[in-house]
Structure 1
Amino acid sequence: MSTLLQHYAQLQSQDLRYVREHVSEVLCPHRLSLAGGGQSLETALFYRQGDSLGFGRLSYGAQVTIEPEPFQNFYLLQVPIRGKEEIHLHQGMYASNAQAASLLSPNQVFSMSHSEEADKLFVRIARQGLEAHYRQYFGQTHRGVLEFFPIIRFDEPKGQTLWRLLCWQFNEASEGLMLDSPSMRACVEETLMTALLELLAHNQPLRDERRQAAPAAIRRAIEYMEAHVTEPLVASDIAKYAGLSTRSLYAGFRAGLGQTPMVYLKSLRLKGVRQALLEAAGGSASVTDLAMAWGFGHLGQFAADYRAQFGELPSQTLQGGARRLRSGATHN
């Protein structure tokens, strides 16, 4: 993990004032001080900004104390991958390390201390984006500030699930292509925000979703998918059109079709690509061109999904169509 986000270096410095100013620009204004004499900073900051999420990694190379101004516009998820940090809130002190992450909410007054060897991953989560996702996902307005319990334990089942998701997302942010595509970036961000709302303790009520979504609403969702199948869609787009919360949309698809709406959408797109490959036989179109046209940006995953659904690689479909075309021309 020591190489995560290495392509997104923002800062490497020993100058305390410069470090404080630069980190303030990425996160928020704060006081930064060395906790012991005879120390010097060896700060390294890496950061990749998305739409609602920013993925970062930060180490100071010294024991430091941080006193931020209360967040106004974002949440901060912090995951030490080496060393530890202490979070001091009015309700007490919380120790955070590789087995226990922290999630800080807007308007909280707190301070932090980092051990000398501390190296942490963090996700900056836009408050506006998370609150909007809460409203759409649950189909209700949040009451006051959405606030999470500050500690996430990775030795518990829900924490383990979140840790696996974070590992994948940080690796993708570091080396992958999904955050380059607006539609796939939206899916990545919605997935993490949904996981936070479903897995973690917070101060908001959860709507009772035992009522099934009406079949007519699910039909509207399917019709919308079919009409916009090549466009960048996320679950919240589909739910809004169908007049459902995102959570109800998922529940309705599971009950009626035994799969999620995004799996259903992927299947529609794969069928569209297959038909396009058959029609393109003998032409100049490539598998890559057609896959991209139908909304697939990760070509390796696309090929694997295509083979799982149709029993052959997309290149084999294109070649087979070309052979059939030549055979037909020969017989004519």
Structure 2
Amino acid sequence: MAGGRLPGPAAPGADVPVHVGLRTTDMDEAREFCRKLYYGPLQIEPVGDPGGFRFSADVVLLGPITLGEVMYGTDIRITIGALETAYHVLVPLNGMVRSQHRGAVVLADPTRAVVYRPTGAIELEWPGSCRLLSVKVERAALERELDAALDHRLVSPLPLGATFDLVDGPGRTWAALVRLLLHELCGPDGLASQPRMAARWRDMVVSGLALTVEHPYGEEPAGLQGPHRPRTVKRALDAMHTEPWRPYTIHDLAAVAGVGVRVLQESFRQHVGMPPLTYLRRLRLDGVHAELSRSDPGQASVSEIAYRWGFTHLGRFAGAYRVRFGVTPSQTLRDRA
């Protein structure tokens, strides 16, 4: 392994890129590498000559995105449980992969990417000659991007198309951006490795994906429905998304929005579907869940992460977490072991 160790816990919004590389002929080592960096419920089985197994990967973790260039050297089959916490895109650089997800079969190659939503198991048939870009974007990050940019109420998970074009239009530009960023971050002392620049690149990857994915809503990106949100609601949402860990009260948010408490609550009921503080709690829970899902159990603790996201009463936090995700926070963290 080269390029650095897996990152420990970081403050919300951290933008320090971490490069991790691996070259190995050991199937178990490659499997563990992919589980740590991408998803725990992942299985890799050779269907070609096991003697030809030559795993090669360079992966960069940058806040809510994980970028990698991966190749296996022999034909393999990958199965993954529901992603839950992330959207994912595969961009073959050469060769072809056969993907099955949510009943749709996609043959992805250098002309067409495959897109995964955070629901439903995935099956991949990946030839040994195929090298591809693997891009993971945390669910909350992509949904926040659409929410903040377009002032509309979102359906979660977003009903994204299963594929997009890589030859023309925004798909070609987005894939080139991802590949350039990965190349820069894997090299020594690149400009993109500076935290301020890395944050801008990260935002371009997330916002570019939001504008690239196919969707059933005409000229608007996927998942949008409901009326346009008033400026007062937008101000409160912007404040919560910018600093979700701040101890906001309903009076604080009303002051940010420039209206009275009752007006703000009624506006949220109409345009968001829940009270402001309920939305804030959900935003924080999603942030904790995403961070627990990518943290090393040996280096992170549930209480530290919960406090960073603004939860000061651990008992109430644990109960709300279990209601939302169906498991305890510690179970989510242990699943990364």
What TM-score does the superposition give when structure 1 sets the normalisation length?
A: 0.56
**Gaps in structure 2 of 5+ consecutive residues:** 5-17, 216-221, 236-255, 259-337
SS at match of 1:194: helix
Deviation at 1:9?
4.4
Deviation at 1:173?
2.7
Residue 19 in structure 1 maps to residue 33 in structure 2: no
Partner of 2:164: 152
Residue 189 in structure 1 maps to residue 208 in structure 2: no
Contact 1:138-1:207 within 8 A present in 2 as well: no
Which is helix-richer, 1 or 2? 1
Contact 2:155-2:225 within 8 A present in 1 as well: no
Deviation at 1:116?
1.2
> Would the alpha carbon gap of residues 38 and 31 (structure 1) be closer, same or farther in structure 2, given more than 3 Å must change?
closer
Q: Select the residue among 153, 161, 181 that pairs with 2:173.
A: 161
Trace 1:1-20 onto structure 2 (pairs within 5 A): 8-20=19-31
Partner of 2:298: none
Structure 1 window deviating more from structure 2 (15-24 vs 169-178): it is: 169-178
Deviations 1:180-234 (A, max 9, x none): 21x322221222222222222234127888x9x9xxx9xxxxxxxxxxxxxxxxx
Letter of the structure 1 residue corresponding to residue 98 of structure 2 = E
Deviations 1:105-149 (A, max 9, x none): 111222001111111112221112222222211223311212321
Separation of aligned partners in 2, 1:94 and 1:74: 19
> Would the alpha carbon gap of residues 36 and 165 (structure 1) be closer, same or farther in structure 2, given more than 3 Å must change?
closer
Letter of the structure 2 residue corresponding to residue 30 of structure 1 = L
Partner of 1:287: none
Residue 101 in structure 1 maps to residue 120 in structure 2: no
Letter of the structure 1 residue corresponding to residue 172 of structure 2 = Q
Q: Select the residue among 93, 97, 102 that pairs with 1:85.
A: 97
Deviation at 1:42?
0.7
SS at match of 2:74: coil
Letter of the structure 2 residue corresponding to residue 169 of structure 1 = L
Separation of aligned partners in 1, 2:137 and 2:129: 25
Residue 177 in structure 1 maps to residue 191 in structure 2: yes
Q: CA RMSD in A?
A: 3.1
Contact 2:153-2:227 within 8 A present in 1 as well: no
Q: Select the residue among 132, 135, 138 that pairs with 1:126.
A: 138
Trace 1:284-323 onto structure 2 (pairs within 5 A): none
Separation of aligned partners in 2, 1:185 and 1:139: 26
Separation of aligned partners in 1, 2:64 and 2:161: 21
Contact 2:21-2:57 within 8 A present in 1 as well: yes
> Would the alpha carbon gap of residues 140 and 189 (structure 1) be closer, same or farther in structure 2, given more than 3 Å must change?
same
> Would the alpha carbon gap of residues 204 and 112 (structure 1) be closer, same or farther in structure 2, given more than 3 Å must change?
same
> Would the alpha carbon gap of residues 178 and 84 (structure 1) be closer, same or farther in structure 2, given more than 3 Å must change?
same
Partner of 1:43: 55
**Gaps in structure 1 of 5+ consecutive residues:** 218-240, 244-332
Deviation at 1:58?
0.9
Contact 1:57-1:122 within 8 A present in 2 as well: yes
Deviations 1:147-171 (A, max 9, x none): 3212121123232232333343333
Contact 1:106-1:147 within 8 A present in 2 as well: no
Separation of aligned partners in 2, 1:27 and 1:95: 22
Separation of aligned partners in 1, 2:58 and 2:85: 21
Letter of the structure 2 residue corresponding to residue 185 of structure 1 = A
Separation of aligned partners in 2, 1:92 and 1:106: 15
Partner of 1:305: none
When Rg is computed on C-alpha atoms for both structures, the one with the higher figure is: 1
Trace 1:58-69 onto structure 2 (pairs within 5 A): 58-69=70-81
SS at match of 1:155: coil
Contact 1:81-1:121 within 8 A present in 2 as well: yes
Letter of the structure 1 residue corresponding to residue 145 of structure 2 = H
Partner of 2:290: none
What TM-score does the superposition give when structure 2 sets the normalisation length?
A: 0.56
Size of the alignment, in residue pairs?
A: 212
Higher RCO (CA 8 Å, separation ≥ 6 residues): 2
Separation of aligned partners in 2, 1:165 and 1:10: 20
Q: Select the residue among 184, 188, 199 that pairs with 2:212.
A: 199
> Would the alpha carbon gap of residues 10 and 102 (structure 1) be closer, same or farther in structure 2, given more than 3 Å must change?
same
SS at match of 2:183: helix
Contact 1:48-1:55 within 8 A present in 2 as well: yes
Separation of aligned partners in 2, 1:137 and 1:156: 24
Separation of aligned partners in 2, 1:82 and 1:199: 21
Identity value in percent? 17
Q: Select the residue among 140, 150, 153 that pairs with 2:152.
A: 140
